[in-house]
Every structure is written in structure tokens, then in C-alpha cells.
Amino acid sequence: MVGRGYTVFDTAIGRCGIIWSSTGVVAVQLPEAREIDTRRRIFQAHPEAREQRPLPNTELAIEGIVSLLQGNDPDFSDVSLDAGGVPGFNRRVYEYTCTIPRGETRTYHEIAKALGASGAAHSVAQAIAKNPYMLIVPCHRVLEAGNYTGRISPYGGVISKRRLLSLEGAHPVASKTLFEVLLPVAPPRPSG
């Protein structure tokens, strides 16, 4: 195989995409509202990729993704990732994220502290937001300090962290409502 390949495949939540090279999985695209939108996002991020039959490593990743989205606990440890374009700090974040047990979550701050970079919570958040290996690297298990469980990353499609965590049996603290966000910053009411 020369260059990068991709394929689109069926899961319990819709048609996902996966992009690979001879080195390993390059990216996973979760489903958009329509398959054409999923394909469009793949083309935008990886215009050089051509649709083709998956390599054995990619098949292993697809099987794991399908299984996870059915509520199972697949093992992705044998799936090779192509991390050629991934910065070193992001790789460390992804390696740590893979150690978070199913059904559990960590905050950006907790990961930064575990990596010996306690002031780097924002950098961890940026790394998680750029995670190209959706589900293989379970970035849905990493939350803001308030356990906000909204959109995942550019590869996240229409699914939320909350939905992925519920598939794993995790029950994070509910996301803050607009009322809860605005209440602390609202000006005090005049007494009288």
C-alpha cells in the first residue's frame, strides 16, 4: 500500500470512518448526521487518502470500535497507531488516556498532574481536542473540571462524550445548565 487508505463502516451509532497508513491508524471519524458528511470530513482532513480494503491492523481497530459502540469492552492494545504527525506532548496525553479504565473519567488537571506538568491543564485540553484516534484513545473519558460532557473533537461527529460514557456505564456529573453557569457571574440584586 502506498499513501493512506480509508473506509467507512457500520456501527450501532451510524457509519464511522477510519484512515490508515502502512504504519497504523491515522484517524477515526465518528458518524456525522449523514454519511456524505462523514466522508466530506474525511476528505477535508485527509485529501490524499483513497478508499480501499482495510489492512489487518485496521480491521482489528474496526472490530474494536464496533464492539465498543455496542457497549462491550474491546482491547485496542494490539492496534498500531501512526503517530508521525502527533506532537510528543500529545502522544504522552494519549498514552495516559489509554490507561483510564472503562467507566471512569479524569479531568484535564488530573492528567496534567499525572504527567508531571501540573500547570498544563490547558495543553492537555488542546491535545484531547485534537485526538485523531477517537475511541481507540478514549478521550471521552477526559473531562473539564466541572465534568462537562459535550462534543468531543473535530473527529467526534454528532455524538457526545456523555453518550459514549453512558455506553461504558459511566455516569459523570451532569453538565452545567445555562442557569448554573450564569448565576455566579450575575450582578447581585439590590436589597430593599
Looking at the annotation, which residues are catalytic?
Answer: 139
CA-CA-CA-CA torsion sign (16, 123, 90, 77): negative
- 160: exposed, middle or buried (C-beta count within 10 Å: 0-12, 13-18, 19+)? middle
